[in-house]
Amino acid sequence: MAKAKTAYVCSECGADYGKWQGQCEACGAWNTLSEIVLAAAAPSGAKTPARTGYAGADVARVVALHSVGEVEEVRTLTGIGEFDRVLGGGLVEGSVVLVGGDPGIGKSTLLLQALASLGARLKGLYVTGEESLAQVAARGRRLGLSLDGIDALAETCVERILAQVQASKPKLVVADSIQTLWSEPLAAAPGSVSQVRESAARLVRYAKETGTSVFLVGHVTKEGGIAGPRVLEHMVDAVLYFEGESGSRFRVLRAFKNRFGAVNELGVFAMGDRGLREVPNPSAIFLSGSATPQSGSVVMVTREGTRPLLVEVQALVDHSPLSNPRRVTLGLEQNRLAMLLAVLHRHGGVAVFDQDVFVNVVGGIRVQETAADLPVLLAVLSSLRDAPLPDKTVAFGEVGLSGEIRPVPNGEERLKEAASHGFKRAIVPKANAPKKGRVGEMEVIGVERLAQALELAL
């Protein structure tokens, strides 16, 4: 029998090497190389089978790209609106989606609800490698789901799973979880880099060849990333992360990669006794709804995927006994806060070098765009002076290093979202302000400089 070929693969970036070394030259990470089997041992003299493409052709051939006809994406709605939004409009035939998140956050619950919602419209198979079939059925009944039309399989060997899938021919397969699956030709333990990589590759190939939609549930590491090789995220069509604050019943499903829809699309759910319930108007839950304005609180309009979203930014500024005052952020980038405070000092005339500054985005939302710059500085100044902004005021805009207020994309949609929630006043970049100065009943004030915005706000 010929010796199996092996390689050493980096679990962070997926780069492979012929021999082990301490540091990955591609990404610079240390002690991340793991041995994997590239090919199983084969009898001497045995012929290597021809490699087939995803389309099922025996031999790959070169074609002119302009001659390839347009193929319409066949989508199936799951019946869960927020889930369909994050997927880009529903399930795509032959797609492979990786769903990750902390333990107990609701990954298995959401996928079981999706299978039950599809019901007889789309034959589904739930493959569990962590629970027994009795546990899965009990959870479904506890959630009040109709289990008719849902097949289940308790198996971890990927070859036996594919054999059952080929026999029953479901159109949707859920593998919970990918870290529990293993392939017979590999000697490594389940959950290792080689097993996760090979198991995912087998499922991806089957999905593309047969047009079966596949969901892979993935564990996360303590850093919050998907456990296993980084190449796993490159193999699938979409990567969805479940997020949520501990103790909060709200869950956020975010798309970090999607070949069939918008990246950073957001879906909001509420966890209850009957499982996950979609929240069609998430802006309402992220606003405090306080009867009176509070100092250090500013409402901003961020944009997640294709949806404008109203969120509340809170700041607390307090005298610091430390020689190096603290700068703490939740939901925002900490380095950007330090830069904005420097701009506030230089171009706004407000110094906070002897103050601790804490900034939080309410509801556990992570804001990754620059439209939060102006609301953050307004909240900091409001807390410092203990002076709340006028009631029903909203703000957004990017702040430049020279103190200018720069426009942000989709300003008109943001203003319409704020007006629909009853806001009466908006402080925005001048380039984002409409010529009439109003959107419905809401007054829109365009500003060009930071000093002008600070004076108008307070």
**In the predicted model, is pLDDT for residue 119 greater than 70?**
yes
Q: Which residues contact 145 (CB under 8 A, 6 or more apart)?
A: 112, 113, 116, 275
CB 445 within 8 A of CB 456: yes
- Residue 47: pLDDT above 90? no
Which of the four pLDDT bands, split at 50, 70 and 90, describes residue 329? very high
For residues 330 and 155, what is the distance between their CA atoms, to the nearest angstrom?
40
Cα–Cα dist 279/301, whole Å: 18
285-457 classified as CATH 3.40.50.300? no
Pairwise CA distance, residues 176 & 99, whole Å: 10
pLDDT at 2: 53
Could you give the percent of the chain with pLDDT greater than 70?
Answer: 92
pLDDT of residue 53: 43
Predicted confidence (pLDDT) at residue 45 exceeds the cutoff of 80: no
Question: Which pLDDT does position 246 carry in this prediction?
Answer: 67
Least confident of 70-74, 189-193, 293-297: 70-74
Q: How confident is the model at residue 283 (pLDDT cuts 50, 70, 90)?
A: confident
Nearest-CA neighbor of 252 among 261, 260, 240, 263? 240
C-alpha pair distances (Å), 287 with each of 176, 311, 458 = 35, 6, 21
Tens of pLDDT, residue by residue over 221-250, are: 776 677 667 788 999 999 999 888 767 788
Helices (H), 119-239: 133-142, 158-168, 193-210, 231-235
Contact 383, 405 (CB under 8 A): no
Q: Can you tell me the mean pLDDT for 129-137?
A: 94
pLDDT, tens digit, 9 for 90 and up, residues 178-192: 999 999 988 778 888
pTM (two decimals): 0.77
Question: How many helices and strands in the chain, by DSSP H and E?
Answer: 11, 24
Place 291 in a pLDDT band, splitting at 50, 70 and 90: low
Which DSSP category does 286 fall into?
A: T
Mean pLDDT over 307-319 rounds to 93
Each residue of 375-393: pLDDT tens digit?
999 999 999 999 999 989 9
pLDDT band at 117 (very low <50, low <70, confident <90, very high): very high
The confidence score (pLDDT) of residue 342 equals 96
Q: Which CATH number describes the domain made up of 75-280?
A: 3.40.50.300
pLDDT beyond 60 at 167: yes
HSE (side-chain half, CA atoms, 13 Å) at 118: 27
Using alpha carbons, select from 351, 354, 347 the residue that is nearest to residue 374. 347
Decide whether 75-280 matches 285-457 in CATH topology. Answer: no
- Name the packing angle between helices 334-348 and 450-457 (round to 10°): 90
Distance (Å, whole) CA 140 – CA 122: 18
Q: Directed axis angle between helix 373-385 and helix 334-348, to 10°? A: 70
Distance CA(53)–CA(63), nearest Å, equals 14
- Three-class SS string for 418-456? HHHCCCCEEEEEHHHCCCCCEECCEEEEEECEHHHHHHH
Dist. CA 387–CA 150, nearest whole Å = 57
Beta-carbon contacts of 344 under 8 Å, excluding residues fewer than 6 positions away, are 350, 352, 377, 380, 381, 450
Query: Which run of H or of E encompasses 345?
Result: helix 334-348
Stretch 52-56: mean pLDDT, rounded? 45
**Better pLDDT: 118 or 248:** 118
Q: At what angle do helices 158-168 and 193-210 cross, to 10 degrees?
A: 20
* Domain spans of the chain, in order of start: 1-44, 75-280, 285-457
The structure tokens listed for 20 are 């082990």
What band does 447 get if pLDDT is binned at 50, 70 and 90?
very high
Q: Is a pLDDT exceeding 60 seen at residue 52? A: no
In this predicted structure, what is the pLDDT of residue 289?
A: 62
| Per-chain mean pLDDT for the chain | 88
What angle is formed at CA 103 by the lines to CA 116 and CA 164, rounded to 5 degrees? 45
- Three-state DSSP class for residue 213: strand
Three-state DSSP class for 131?
A: coil
Separation of alpha carbons 235 and 93, rounded Å = 16
pLDDT for residue 56: 46
What average pLDDT does range 158-165 have in this prediction? 96
Question: For the chain, first and last CA: distance in Å?
Answer: 80
Specify whether the CB–CB gap between 103 and 221 falls below 8 A: no
Mean of pLDDT values over 431-435: 93
Q: Name the band, by pLDDT with cuts 50, 70 and 90, for residue 11.
A: confident
What pLDDT score does 98 carry? 96
| Helix, strand, coil percent content, the chain, rounded in steps of 5 | 30, 30, 45
169-221 pLDDT, tens digit per residue, is 999 999 999 999 999 988 778 888 888 989 999 999 999 999 999 999 998 87
